[in-house]
Structure formats: C-alpha cells, structure tokens
Amino acid sequence: MDFRLLGPLEVVSAGRVVRLSGTRLPAVLAALLLNANHTVTVEYLAGIVWSEPPRAVESNVRTYIAQLRAALGRTGESECRVVTESSGYRLEILPGELDLATFDGLVLDGDAALALGRVDLALRQLRGALDLWRGEPLAGVTGAAQLGVEVARLEERRLQVAERWARVALSAGRPDEASAELTRLVRVHPLREQLWAALMLALYQGGRQAAALTAYRDAYRLLDEELGVPPGKALQQLHWQILNADAALDASPLLVASTLTAVAIRPMPFAAPPSGAAPPGTPSPPGTPSRSYPPDAPNFLDAADPPDRPAPPPRPRQLPADLVTFVGRAEQLHTLDSLLDHRREGRPAALVIAAITGTAGVGKTALAVHWAHRIADRFPDGQLYVDLGGFHPAGTVVSPAEAVRGFLDAFAVPPDRIPASLTAQIALYRSLLADRRVLVVLDNARGAEQVRPLLPGAPGCLVVVTSRTQLSSLVAAEAAHPVTLDLLSAREASDLLTRRLGARRVGAEPEAVRDIIAHCARLPLALSIVAARAITHPSFPLATIAADLHRGGGGLDGFGYPDTATDVRPAFSWSYLALGAPAAGLFRQLALHPGPDITAPAAAGLSGMPLPRAQALLAELSHAHLVTEHVPGRFAMHDALRAYAAELSRERDREPHRRAALRRALDYYLHTAHAAAEVLEPRMVPLPLAPPAPDAAPERFGGAAAAMSWFVAEHAVLLATVDLAAGTGFDAHAWRLSWILRPFLERHRSNALDIR
C-alpha cells in the first residue's frame, strides 16, 4: 500500500485509490499517519478532527476507527493495520509505504553524504526528497486548528530542505540552479532574510551583480512595507560586499563551511512497525527509519560503505526565538558589542561574562536573546540556554546539577559517561567546552552562587547572565561586565507600540499613546500586554484602552518591587477581564500549581475538567498572553503574572475550593507517577494509595518508553510538587511521591533532590 500526505491525502492499494467517505475519516487517517507506528491518544485525535469535540468523543472516535479499518480491509490486507492499545490507536506502516518517511530517509542520507563531502550525491538525495511533494500537504482534509499546526509544520520542513538544497548547490558551484530555486522560494516566503541572502549570493556568483543588488532593493522594500524594519545587519553586510565586489564572496571553501555548519534538519517522528508486523524478508529492523526510494533515486547508505570516520560533534542551538518587536537598547547593545571587540584589539584572552541586570519585566531576557542571535555566528560550536528560574514565586529554582546535566545532554554525552558527583559533572562540562567556541546564556539567575558552577573555563566561550540582582560578587571575583537595564525611554516605548500596532494606528492618537506609556511606566512587559489587547480589538480606540487603564488603578501589593513604577496590575487586569469565566477560573487556579510549567492533562487534573476543555482554555490563556507555550504542550507563566493570579485566587476563590484544587493536582501527580513507576519497576513493593479525588484524572501508560518519557519531562515539576505537598499539610502525598521518585532519581544519578 502507498500512504501519501505530501499533497492531497491518498491511500493507494494495487494501483487503485482507496475511497474515504465523509470529512472526519480523512482527518482521523491524517492524525494516524502523522504519527505512523506510534500510539495516538483519543485526545490528540479529537484535537485534530473537531474544533469543539462532541460529548461522546470516545464513542465517535471508535466509530471512525471502525470505518477506517473497513476501508483498509477492502484492499485485501491480510492483517488489520489499525491497532487498538490501552492509551489509543496505532496505524502500522511498513517500510516504503509512507511518502513522509521516504522523504525523511532521503534527507537523512543527503545530510550523511554532505558530512562526507559528497556534495553531488547530497544534491541528488535532497532533490529526490523535494520531488516527492505533490502540493500542499494534506490538501482537502478539513479538521480543527491543530491540523493546521501540523500542516504548517510540514510546510516549514519542506522549506528548510529546499533552502538546504539551494545552499548546497551554491557551494557546489552551481549558482544558476541555486538562484532559480531561491527565486521561487522568496516569492513564496518574502520575509525570510536568509533566503534573500542566499539568492543575492547565488546571483552574484553567477556573474549577475546588478540582479543581486536589485534583489537587495526588493528585500529592503518588502521588509519596510510589511514589518516596518530595515534588513538585518548580516543582509546589509552582504549588500556592501556585493556592491564592492568583495573577493571573499568567491571563496568556495567558505561557502562549503557555512553549509556544513547549517542547522541540521530533524526528521519527522517515524519508526518501523513492531516485530512481526512486517512481512518476511523486510530488510529494515524494528525501530529504524524507513529508507525506501523511487526506482531512479540513488541510495547513499546502500550504495557503498561510508568511510570509517567519527560523527561530527553536536552543535546545540538552544537559543529561544528572537523577538520581531525588539526595539531600542542601543546603548546597552553597544556596550555588549564592545566586550567582543576586546579580542580584536589584542587584549589577553579570557572568558567574557556579560551580566545583564534589572527589575522584573524590564526586558533582560529579550535583550540577552536578541544580542545572542546577533553574535551567534561568532560561536560556531553551539549556543546553550537555560532558564534558571531564580525568582520563581514557588521557589522552583533550577539547581546547578540540573543545568549541567541538561548541557551534557545537549552535547549528546552518553549517560554511562556522566559521573555521579556534581563536581565531576562540572569538570566534564568544562572539558567539553575547553577547545570550543560556545555561547552560554544563563537566564533569570538568583545569584552568583547559581552561576559559578556553569561558567566554562575556556577563553573562546562567552557567558551572558540575566538576573534581578546586581551580581556584585560575580563582577568582583569573575570580572563579569555589568550591564544595567532600566525602563525604556519614551521614544523606545513609542517605538515598541508602533512595532506592535503599526505606525498608522499609533500616529492617529498620539495623546492616548503618551497616556498608555505613562500608565505602563515604560515597562516593556506592561506595554506588550496592552499592545496585545489592542491587537485583539482592532476597532477599539487607543483612548478607550488608556481610559480603561486609568480606571484599573492600583499596584501589585506584596509583589516585591521596591519601585512602584514597575506596577503592571492594570495591564494584567485587562488581559484577565477579557477572558471568559472558565478561562479566568483556570488562570487563578494555575497559581496553585508548583511549576515551573504545566501540561494540559495536569491542568485538567488541577481544575477537575475534561482534558479537551482544559486544552481549549489553555489556548485561550495563551492567546491572551497570560501563559506561554514555551515548548510544545508545556505552559508557563511569567513570575509577575503568577503573583497576580495568586492575588486573584486569594481574593475571589473560597479557601475550600482552593484546597480541593490543590488536592486534585497532588493526586494527579501522585497517582500518575505511581502508574509510571509500576510500568518501569514491575517488582516494586506495592504502595497503598487512597483513591484520587474526583476528576483528578491521573494518566496511564502503555509501555516503558511512555512512562520514562513522562518522568523525564515532569522531573522538575515532580520535585516542586514534593515541596508543595510538604509545605501545605499534605504530608502523605509528600512522602509517597518521594518514595515513588527515588528509583527514577537513582537511575539517572540526579543531584537535584536529597531524599530525606
């Protein structure tokens, strides 16, 4: 059988297209194909198929699964492809049957060929991958918003591979082929500066200097009209080089190096079917990606044994996304840039530490991330990032042990090579960075003692630290360079609103803009939240929003700010008041959660509502910028927002209701952890547990991999939950959860918790 989703959804058996009736059934099949050979939960299927899931969602899903089995059964398949498991459904796909898996296999082989210097072969493999696309992925399939997210993810992956192909063609001395592909790409994605840069370089190397300069003018015009910003520094530098016919642009080794250091393209999740599912003679062993190609496509990995050379070391790219709306901070950026200029001036080589300090919400992280992206090309061996959680209101600070372990994982250090003691782990971390140029961003540090173990010893590295404290001892002992961040200037605050709302809307009401800026105290966080409200209500005059802010009044009592100018409650309140009652209730309840982040199932347990409802409300909170989905499926709150939610909870929710929500959350984590531990440690001494609170809805696991993944993902939350239970009178939850966690912590040699 052939399953095709890189274009209109099709199932072909023996040359005939399998008919899928209705509109829901294709969406169900699409969800299963996107996770081929992996179990898909009913909740995930519902999120793909229905914008508003029906009440009897499980019954509806079973009906569509039965229809899908019937449709596939009519093809003459001897075995049923759709397998029912305790946690959901799995569609078994054999090697060579799914076009997405074939695409991934070709891309992987192209990357392997490129790593070995076989550029022509890499081009053929990447071209073969791109030729599998027949149009927009899953065209004609209708479903919920989550389906659109999956389609956008596939489109982005196609773009990455197309861009990679063009860059490799350019490095191989084929500028005309590269420019043709890049011309097509910039028409479809006109705001991606890296595409314009590659096109300009391809045109120039093809002897078309005038066309390259025209391309720059087109890019400048589009960015100015659409975003109101000029091209970035890198594109401006390339324009200058082309204008002056810089000889460096003809250095093909430089181009090859830039290609080899490009960010690797990760394949979509795909695994071969379980043992016994494939017919006799299938060459791919279980658990390996499919590499089935069209008849005329070369297969690099099967064509010849590659040379026995070590794999290139990982180059982590952990920086969060830069903000398109970043404005100002010219003085601070100049100061930071000067730290790197020391090396050019021949000063003694030493580790450079930049310490960005200031009050909460002033934009320390935004500045650090923006500057890190600006200078990332100077650190080709990788960029590391960790949020140390130093001022989390629940006290869930990331320990040096957790941070170091995360960095070692980023460099793919095998678990059996990681020493048990924290001192030895730090030594290994510094040894890894000794001969490398790595940028390390330590965000939201509580103090110097949290930072020191994470400092590399190599002079080629750079460390950027952000904190609400002045880090005076780090400045004195480690010669860190302090960069103090204050409130935005009035001009910068106006520029921020202009960047978010557009010049026309801001220019039409200058008095209201000045009023909003004054009421928000020029605090970037407050301004951004007010801008978000104005964006979601484009018909509201800014004067009305300014008047609402005045009526909101007040400050965040007990928030801990010494300066009342940093009060953000009015801005928070209007984001909160725009919520529906259920979302507002969940927002208040999230303050009871220990953090540092929460998943939708945990939020459902905390609130006592069905999972689809919790997912919908989290989406509403995310849209209102009251929570952030910082990684897929995990939601976090800014410290000040959590404090505001806690105030609202104490003011508006009765203590018995708050206590019941806390009990549900603790029951969710305790019973889910116990279920995961039973899967991982079947011989574990049984631990008697009282039944969970009604609607706590703990999770269950179908296998060891799922259970271990849950423990790893929830590690920090579980440790914080132990402390929360002990501190709120739920002693039985505290000791039982500690007992359940102990085998997992010992297995991973965690130093994050001293079990007492």
Residues of the chain with pLDDT under 50: 75-78, 252-311, 344-348, 393-394, 553-567, 570-571, 750-756
pLDDT at 349: 58
- Return the structure tokens found at 505: 């809307």
d(CA 590, CA 641): 10
Angle at 645 between CA 643 and CA 650, to 5 degrees: 95
Torsion on CA atoms 105, 110, 112, 118, rounded to nearest 10: 150
Angle at 417 between CA 415 and CA 423, to 5 degrees: 100
pLDDT at 463: 94
For the purposes of burial, counting CB atoms within 10 Å of the CB of 313, is it exposed (0-12), middle (13-18) or buried (19 or more)? exposed
Torsion on CA atoms 171, 172, 175, 179, rounded to nearest 10: -70
CB 45 within 8 A of CB 89: yes
Q: How many secondary structure helices (H) and strands (E) does the chain include?
A: 32, 13
β-strands 352-357, 481-484: how paired? parallel
d(CA 464, CA 422): 22
Q: How far is CA 60 from CA 28, 29, 56, 695, 705, in A?
A: 11, 14, 6, 22, 28
pLDDT at 658: 93
Angle at 318 between CA 313 and CA 321, to 5 degrees: 140
CB 577 within 8 A of CB 652: no
**pLDDT tens per residue across span 124-164:** 888 888 889 888 888 888 887 778 878 888 888 888 888 88
d(CA 319, CA 310): 27
**pLDDT tens per residue across span 295-315:** 333 332 333 333 333 445 678
pLDDT at 720: 92
Torsion on CA atoms 58, 64, 69, 70, rounded to nearest 10: 140
CB 723 within 8 A of CB 708: no
Other CB atoms within 10 A of residue 298 CB: 15
Report residue 202: phi and psi, to 5°: -65, -45
pLDDT at 590: 95
Helix (H, G, I), strand (E, B) or coil at 5: coil
Sole residue written with tokens 């928030």: 559
CA atoms within 13 A on the CB side of 30: 29
Q: How far is CA 204 from CA 104, 193, 222, 456, in A?
A: 32, 17, 21, 41
d(CA 283, CA 303): 15
pLDDT at 275: 39
pLDDT at 303: 32
| Strand ranges inside 301-381, DSSP E | 352-357
> Would you say the pTM of this structure is higher than 0.75?
no
Neighbouring-strand partners of residue 12: 2, 17
d(CA 463, CA 126): 37
Helix (H, G, I), strand (E, B) or coil at 597: coil
pLDDT at 565: 35
pLDDT at 749: 54
Q: Please name the amino acid found at residue 637.
A: M
pLDDT at 267: 43
Angle at 542 between CA 537 and CA 548, to 5 degrees: 85
CA-wise closest residue to 496 among 529, 467, 471: 529
**pLDDT tens per residue across span 189-210:** 888 887 888 888 888 888 888 8
